A = this chain, B = another copy of it.
Amino acid sequence: MPPSSVRIGLLGCGVVGQGLLKLLRERERLIRDSVGAPIQVSRVAVRDPGKRRECELSGIHVGTDAMAVAEASDVDLLVELAGGEAMLEPVRAALRRGIPVVTANKHILALHGEELERLAGESKTTIRCEASAGGGIPVLQALDHGLRTENFQLLVAILNGTTNFILSTMARDGRDFAEALAAAQTLGFAEADPTLDLSGQDTAQKLSILVRRAFRMDVAFSSIPTEGIIGMELEDLRQADRFGYTVKLLGIALRHPEGLDVRVHPAFIPKRYLLAAVRDEFNGIYLRGEATGSMLFYGKGAGANPTAQAVLGDVVVTARECVSGVKLLGTPPMRDPEQRLPLDQVRTKYYLRLLVEDRPGVLAQVAANLGATNVSVAQMFQAEGVRGEASITILTHHAKDKDVREAVAGIAKLPTTRKTPRAVRIFDI
């Protein structure tokens, strides 16, 4: 007999949780018609139950013990929105007893995704996480459902709204990094401590979640070479523009004959790319599939309402499973393990910007360093600077990543080099 209602245990009741409660109430009839039974929130665990919240909690048991909610007999579906490593145990506990989980917690998914999926499989239940990567964009469900059987060759994604806002603001308004970061913080697009975003770690977490589905392969978050946008200068964005590029922080997964190449770094991308038009706090996920060809998903990667809607989308599908007693299509099965192509071996183009002493012979020294590691120059420009300094901009042809980095390290050590060289990869395939 189908249950008379699906009872949710909710961990965390911040802006996303409150947004979810609001949507559950406002769209009650449609949800009930879709699921085949009403959804009720029976329990909520929060850190501070006394805190003022803009949502109706009457009739809901409010406590502080997340584990008690995960193990409560009146919970059919666990929704985890508290975030962080502390939520790992409650999520495990729910899955172990066959209770499905919907979570927005990119941290535990990136670090323990393989284990959690396995636990869900063993208990014949599901864990869904649409909101954990790409925020309000329904890309994970698309990969689980309609695109489940597609073979993808390439995924390139802008997954972090904070850094995309900063880069967009610098490029559009000619502001420097610090000013753009301050603007992002004022507008609520950046946290007080933005380290996770700026370092590329947030992008790498989300990328590992997406790669699992698109390539059906476990890629440990810690194994992803990751560079952030700290150190990016307005002058780099101006040079990018001059050469027909836009700068974006990318998560990349690219299938080569030698293995899967997964990495996170800022990159120059051609302005004609649709991803170049993904600006401000928006996210974009570009996929290239064997049968489907090019595809892009675009939308808000964060924010209370888009995230709450993504969670609700997962809740409705999962509640339908609870009512029907049948597991629908969850994360696709993994492929046989594949080789990885280390970043050192990836062939890529580079943009280099050097500040050197303005005197004869310096350019020859720079060229010698590049030549020594077989890095070939596509374009080179020298601008006269002030105080006897000159600025050199170089675009390279494709070369092994390791070789370019070696050459740059050599150039950095030259006595005529006045500042650590800037080096940004060009993604143009």
Chain B residue, CB-CB nearest to A313: B146
Q: How large is the interface on A (under 10, 10 to 19, 20 to 34, 35 or more residues)?
A: 35 or more
Q: Is A148 touching B316 in the complex (CB atoms < 8 A)?
A: yes
Q: Is B149 touching A31 in the complex (CB atoms < 8 A)?
A: yes
Closest-CB distance, A25 to chain B (whole angstroms): 12
Q: Is B274 touching A289 in the complex (CB atoms < 8 A)?
A: no
* Residue from B130, B292, B303 within 8 A of A305 (CB atoms): B292
Q: Which of A229-237, A293-301, A383-391, A401-409 contacts B (4 or more CB under 8 A)?
A: A293-301
- Once bound together, how far apart are the Cα atoms of A326 and B299, in whole Å? 32
A312 at the A/B interface (Cβ < 8 Å)?
Answer: yes
Give 6 pairs: A residue, B residue, CB < 8 Å, sorted on A. A27-B149, A130-B146, A142-B142, A149-B316, A292-B299, A293-B300
Q: Which of A63-71, A78-86, A327-335, A359-367 contacts B (4 or more CB under 8 A)?
A: A327-335
Chain B residue, CB-CB nearest to A333: B33
A310 at the A/B interface (Cβ < 8 Å)?
Answer: yes
Q: Is A309 touching B291 in the complex (CB atoms < 8 A)?
A: yes
* Residue from B23, B289, B297 within 8 A of A297 (CB atoms): B297
* Residue from B148, B300, B324, B333 within 8 A of A324 (CB atoms): B324
A320 at the A/B interface (Cβ < 8 Å)?
Answer: yes
- Once bound together, how far apart are the Cα atoms of A326 and B2, in whole Å? 12
- Once bound together, how far apart are the Cα atoms of A313 and B295, in whole Å? 15
* Residue from B30, B146, B326 within 8 A of A326 (CB atoms): B326
A314 at the A/B interface (Cβ < 8 Å)?
Answer: yes
Known: A30-B332, A313-B149. A305 touches B326 (CB 8 A): no
Chain B residue, CB-CB nearest to A22: B291
Q: Which of A133-141, A173-181, A241-249, A368-376 contacts B (4 or more CB under 8 A)?
A: A133-141
Closest-CB distance, A203 to chain B (whole angstroms): 20
Q: Is B305 touching A293 in the complex (CB atoms < 8 A)?
A: yes
